[in-house]
Each structure stands twice: as C-alpha cells, then as structure tokens.
Copies of this chain bind each other. A is one copy, B any other.
Amino acid sequence: MRTSIATVSLSGSLTEKLTAAARAGFDGVEIFENDLLASPLAPEEIRARCADLGLTIDLYQPMRDVEAVPEDEFARNLRRARAKFALMNRLGADTVLVCSSVSPLARDDDALAAGQLSRLADLARDHGVRVAYEALAWGRHVSTYDHAWRIVEQAGHPALGTCLDSFHILSRSSDPKDLEGIADIPGEKIFFLQLADAPLLGMDVLQWSRHHRCFPGQGGFDVAGLLRHVLRAGYEGPLSLEVFNDVFRQADAGPTALDARRSLLVLQEQVGLGDLPAPVVPTGIAFAELVAPDAEPVSGLLGALGFTRTARHRGKPVELWERGEARVLVNTGPAARRDGACLAAVGLESPDPAGAARRAEALLSPVLPRRRAPEDAPLDAVAAPDGTELFLCATGRPELPDWRADFEDLPHTPPAPDPLRIDHLSLTQPWHHFDEAVLFHRAVLGLDAQESVDVADPYGLLRSRAVSTADGGVRFPLTVGAAPGDDTAHARHIALATDDVVAAARRFTEAGGRLLPIPANYHDDLAARYEFADGELDVYRELGILYDRDAHGVFRHCYTHTVGRVFFELVQRDGGYQGYGAANAPVRLAAQRTARYGAAR
C-alpha cells in the first residue's frame, strides 16, 4: 500500500519536511495548513517540489468547525472553503480533512451536520475535491468514528466520505468490540486513514493527542488490530502517519522520517502486507568493540579485569581481548574521538547473517560495506539509528565468513580462570531518538522490549528501556538523558557476567583496578531491608557491590571507574533475576558524578 506522512509529524521548514519524507521513501504527504502558511513557496511551487521529490499530496488539513452551525456561520465557512479548494487545486491535492466541530456554536443535530457537509461536498466536487470527515475524540457532539460515519451515510454525497484516525478511535476505547463497526463501512467511503500510536498515559485526551502521539509500535495502542478492520472494510488509500509529538518537533527531520517509515513497514508486516525478510534473532554477543584514541587506558582496565590480548587484526589497528566468552575489540583507528574510548560497535552472533542484514536493509538501516579492505572477511553489518555498528557474525562456522579470520593470534599467557561473558551492553542514546532506537531493535533484530523506567540522576530523570532476546543471550538497556546535550548519558558500558562477583571484583582490585566507591549509607540501607549472612554485607561495602532482588532472584553488581566514555560492570545473576539493577541506578549515577567531579564536600 502507499504510505504517507503528515508534515506536522516532522521538524523544520516545509521543504525540509518534504525532502525528509521523500528520502525515507514515503509516497505522499499530508500538508498541514500551518506549514503551508509559513512557507515562502507558492502552492504551485510546493506542488512542483513534491513532484520533483516523487511525492503526491494526499491530504490537505484541516478544516475545522465547519458543520452543524447556524446558517450565517456556515456561509462564512463555505466562503473559506471555496478559497481552500482553490488553493488545493493550485497544490494538486484532492482530499481535504474536515474535523468534527469543537465550536460552541455547533448544534447536536446530525441532520443539520449531514446537510451542511453535503453542501460543502457540492462545492468540493465543483473543484474536483473530496471531503473526508473525521471525528475528533474531543469533538463537541461528534466524537466517535461510527457517529461520523452515520452522518456521512446520511448525507449520501459522492464527494463526502470519512477519515479514520487511530488515535481518535483508540484513545476513546481499546475494546476490540468497539472497532467491529469499521468493517461495515464501505471501503470506498473511507477516504483516508491516519495512523498514530500513543503511550497509555491516562491524561486529558486533547493534551495527549497534541504532545504525546508516536509512530505505530512505539506506544500502547493496537494499531495493527485497527488496521485489520480498515483493510477488511476494503480501504485502499494510503497508510498515513499523523503524529503530534513534542520531541519529533525538535528532532532532525531526516531520522524521524526514517523512523516513521520503518514503523509503517513493521505495521504492514503485522497485518500480512509487504514482503519483509523474516527477522533473524541474534543468539549472542560475539564481541563488543571499543574505539579509542589511545589503547592504554582501556588495555589497563581490560588487563585488570583478567582479559588477555589474544589476537591482532591483520590489516587494522584493532586488538582482540578475551576472557572466556567475553571478547572486546580495541580499535585505535581513525574513528576514535579525542574524548576517549567509546563503545562503538557490537558483534552479534546470527543464525543467518545475510538474512539479518537483508531485513535490516529492508527496514531502512544503512548497510555497511561488507569489506573494509580487500583481505577482510566479507562480514554483514548494519548501523543502528544511533550510529552503533552491528556486525552480524557466524563465529567458528566454517561455511560462513568469520570475523575471527581477520585476526592473527598473538602469543599470550593462559586466560584467567572463572570465565566471563558479556551480560549486557548499555547503549545510551541521543536525546531525540529514544523511541526510534527501541523500535529499531525490536523490528530489525527481533528483540523484545521491557517496560520503560525512569531513573533519577542527581541532575535529572533518565529514561531507560531494555531490549533483549527471550533467553537473555543479547541484552541492550537503552538509556536517554534528561535533556539534549546532557552528559549523564555520555558513557556506555559493558556488563560482564560472572558466577562469583565477589571473587571477580576482588581479583580486579588486586590487579590494580579501581572499583566505583559506593556510599556506606547505601549499604546501611541494605542492612535495614534484607538479612545477610555474617560478613556478607561487609564484603559488599568493601568492594562497592550493589544488591537487588526481583520476583525471580538476586542481582549483585559493581562498576569499574570510567575510561573516556566507557566503563565496565561485573554482574552476578542468580535464580533467574531478569532486571539490570535499576533500583540502584540513582546511587551508581551519583557515585559516578562524585568520582568525576569530586565529592562536593
């Protein structure tokens, strides 16, 4: 099906919006009136720009407070409509959105509404325009899709149909029964379909709609369920996104448009449309790659953690460090930035690297060159929205290219006992693109998303949401700072799983590593909350080990100091604990602030 996006969903000038929509592969746009009014381009120029970009103008919107009003008011509305239809002719747009009235002048009189809409449709037809009448969830007298449809049906005018909007419908009721009436509307009378999701916020619906809409799959609505009803009705128009969102208004239009179209591709897959390659869920983490201007600080940390430098890339300044199943690449190549080491790439074990890359590409992820140099193994790799490179690996599978083949072994001492593996990689996100990242990891990699949690940093609330595979083989907690430019979310980290966090932490400190000191007050509180074996808590105090419980089990964890923009965590999961110690995050964040800026004593 054709896809479209309302210009109000994107940031910037009208031409920036059009360019972004076209680049993301949309077929058309809805032009929001304020975007046109603020544009220095004449309607004919906008039409030409859209044509150049391969975009149709699928809707002009909105007209407000048109129907069920006193005759003198309606005469003024018709006068205005005449000008708007003439404008639409100049634009080359043939469908106009009319929202159900919120005017105090409007009467609760369906016959009056139908009669006036019919007269509006007469005028529209004379201009070659169709009127799509939509119930706003907060409409004065018409607030449900079936009520709007009854009025359209009563009017019985060929140039009058209805517009369905998933927000207005699903914000009023999530009961599937209430959607069944959709399939009774003749498909050709559904002139337009606007799609938006929203988090389930339980707030005033007008404010909810104006500030918190998001793309399908990013909120709590069953947009796919609604779409199935609309398709069953026989709707054949575009799938069009209309999203009012305070963050998208600020974010660069290009990434937002990609995010938007990705959401529609996933939605179409959910309802059996489109032909996306199937998801290939990764089975584990092959490696984490740090990019660093100087290998020394990172090497020191890895060494203290018991990692051994086992191999070196044959053609690039990249070293492989291993301890058990945990592998870390240290890359001192040109991508390094002077603010220090950062977690820039992840190797994912994939049952079908090429298939995974095909799905990523179909879902608009940049596919990275398969070879960096002629002698490199032809690895599949894609970029996540935040720029993190995701290498799709088949480690040790002889039939497939193996990243390990690019490395030559170095002489090395035997690794430390008690192997580690990567438990999770914490991928902090740029401020405006948090929901996009969650959708990407779900849709492209087939990960599951956990609930979003707020975490109090001393200087603001962070938002955190983990995505993971069902068995926990791949876990990425995604975190975003409290404000754009916030350096709280500056550092990412690598969490290493051990069966004995006390032993691992002790070995680390004995090897000269510095663990993040945790305030004694924290451990005093633990003593008040839980009962511990004799001496257990003393060890946690000494090493700065944090403690959490959930319904399944226990989590013990501690942190190294930060090098550049990366640090490590040692974690011990017992009894099937599923979380990431979010309850301890405020203490950890405050301790990192103290370590970084001084104790403020």
Contact = CB atoms under 8 A, between A and B. Distances in A.
A590 interface: yes
12 contacts: A11-B458, A16-B600, A33-B525, A34-B586, A34-B587, A37-B522, A40-B591, A83-B527, A201-B204, A211-B461, A246-B461, A249-B482
A13 B458 contact: yes
Interface stretch (A190-198, A224-232, A291-299, A513-521): A513-521
Nearest to A252: B459
Please list the 10 inter-chain residue pairs (A to B) with the smallest Cβ-Cβ separation, ordered nearest first. A83-B528, A203-B203, A38-B590, A250-B460, A202-B204, A13-B600, A80-B528, A249-B460, A37-B522, A38-B587
Given A43-B521, A83-B527, A202-B203, 13 more contacts: A12-B459, A34-B587, A38-B586, A38-B587, A38-B590, A38-B591, A40-B591, A83-B524, A202-B204, A203-B204, A249-B460, A250-B459, A483-B484
A532 B246 CA distance: 36
Interface in A23-62: 33-34, 36-43
Contact of A246 (B15, B79, B482, B524): B482
Contacts of A461: 211, 246, 249
Contacts of A39: 519, 521, 590
A84 interface: yes
Given A38-B458, A38-B591, A83-B527, A600 B15 contact: yes
A87 interface: yes
Interface in A193-217: 201-204, 207, 210-211
A601 interface: yes
A599 interface: yes
Contact of A525 (B11, B37, B485, B524): B37
B459 A11 contact: yes
A203 B87 CA distance: 40
Given A15-B601, A40-B599, A519-B38, A524 B250 contact: no
A528 B42 contact: no
Contact of A207 (B37, B201, B483, B591): B201
A478 to B, nearest CB: 19
Contact of A524 (B12, B87, B204): B87
A444 B539 CA distance: 56
A412 interface: no
Contacts of A459: 11-12, 249-250
Nearest to A528: B83
B483 A250 contact: yes
A410 to B, nearest CB: 41
Given A16-B600, A519-B37, A528 B79 contact: yes
A207 B203 CA distance: 10
Say whether chain A's binding surface is mostly helix, strand, loop, or mixed. helix
A11 B250 contact: no
Nearest to A80: B528
A456 interface: yes
Contacts of A520: 42
Nearest to A481: B250
A79 to B, nearest CB: 7
B249 A456 contact: yes
Contacts of A460: 11, 246, 249-250
B40 A517 contact: yes
Interface in A561-597: 586-587, 589-591, 593-594
A529 interface: yes
A11 B485 CA distance: 17
A586 B34 CA distance: 8
A235 B529 CA distance: 34
Contact of A483 (B204, B454, B483): B483
Contacts of A521: 36-39, 42-43
Contacts of A42: 520-521
Contacts of A589: 38
B83 A38 contact: no
Q: Specify which of A12, A87, A587, A600 lies most central, judged by the most chain B CB atoms within 10 Å of its CB.
A: A600
A37 B524 CA distance: 8
A591 B37 CA distance: 10
Contacts of A484: 483-485
A204 B517 CA distance: 38
A526 to B, nearest CB: 9
A15 B519 CA distance: 14
Q: Specify which of A36, A40, A459 lies most central, judged by the most chain B CB atoms within 10 Å of its CB.
A: A40
Nearest to A84: B528
Contacts of A519: 37-41
A532 to B, nearest CB: 13
